[in-house]
Amino acid sequence: MNNICIPETDSTKLAALRAQLAEKPSVVLEMFAAEHGVSLQTVVECLPETNRVFAPGEFAEAVMADIADWGIVTVLVHTQDIILECKGKLPAGKTARGFYNLDHGSPIGGHFRLDQCAAMAFVRRAFMGSDSCSVSFFNRRGEAMFKIFVGREENRDLITSQVERFTALQDRFRNCS
């Protein structure tokens, strides 16, 4: 199987993807992308405009810094073989030696090649019967590097203060053209 996904440009295929997503809006986007042989970014682009806002990858570090003030979030990495989730406070970070390095002190840690981030998408949609908000970070092939999800209260509702911060970022990028 070819792992390199080139952004889809066939308007007929894109229309078919949009129609299928409208029929099954709660589909796992990564699985849908793999099933149709397109990148995850292409699938997100096919979501209704009311569900997604894109931002240039050059703002990835600023977005990460903002999210570091949100509180408990879920960082998700979805590959063909695993869906890895880590809940915790996203630590602050700084760029050194070609990586955005997260500070210690949280279950979430690591080193991100944010220079490889070509775009981000702020996605708000229903998933498995619940509202969800996530920020997807895409590489130059349109594949997800990782996602960060707004946290949930004990009753499974989204944390209101995080939704407000998420919406503020969405609006910032929606309004910059």
Domain-located, residue 107: yes
Domain-located, residue 168: yes
Band (pLDDT 50/70/90 cuts) for residue 34 is: very high
The CATH number of the domain holding residue 148 is 3.40.1570.10
pLDDT, one tens digit per residue, over 128-167 is 878 999 999 999 999 999 999 999 999 999 999 999 999 9
Reading the block at residue 129, the tokens are: 């019967």
Domain-located, residue 32: no
Total domain count, the chain: 1
Classified as helix, coil or strand, 129 is coil
Domain-located, residue 87: yes
Reading the block at residue 74, the tokens are: 């879920």
**24-41 mean pLDDT:** 92
Which residues constitute the domain of residue 131?
Answer: 51-174
pLDDT at 1 over 50: no
Place of tokens 């070509």: 118
Domain-located, residue 112: yes
The amino acid that residue 177 corresponds to is S
Domain-located, residue 58: yes
Q: How high is the pLDDT of residue 79?
A: 87
